[in-house]
Amino acid sequence: MNHLNPVKTGIALSKLLGTLHLIWAVLVGLGWAQALASFSMWAHMVSSPVVIKPFDLSAAVTIVIVASIVGYVVGYLFARFWNHSHRG
């Protein structure tokens, strides 16, 4: 099995989650997030009132940073677990 570099794996997942949340923040800022959320709820056959609030820059920056940090930690821990469970 291939060895995973925990730091590189953490950075990769950090970038992925940070970018996804940045895209979400942009969608909220453009006013397109409500339509996307409503479509997602419909497509998953779920009925629950989801209301997207107005764009808040501090909330947007916070969620991108938190998602990036969580992504790094999860990616790092995953790689460590992967390497440990596939020792030769």
Per-residue model confidence as pLDDT tens digits over 7-32: 999 999 999 999 999 999 999 999 99
What is the structure's pLDDT at 55? 98
**In 31-56, alpha helices (H):** 33-43
Alpha carbon distance 44, 30 (integer Å)? 24
Residue 10 burial (CB count, 10 A): 22
Report DSSP state, residue 63.
H
Query: Does any domain span residue 75?
Result: yes
Q: Is residue 58 part of a domain?
A: yes
Residue 41 lies in domain = 6-85
pLDDT of residue 2: 86
Structural domain includes residue 1 = no
Split into its structural domains, the chain has a count of 1
Give per-residue pLDDT as tens, 44-66: 999 999 999 999 999 999 999 99
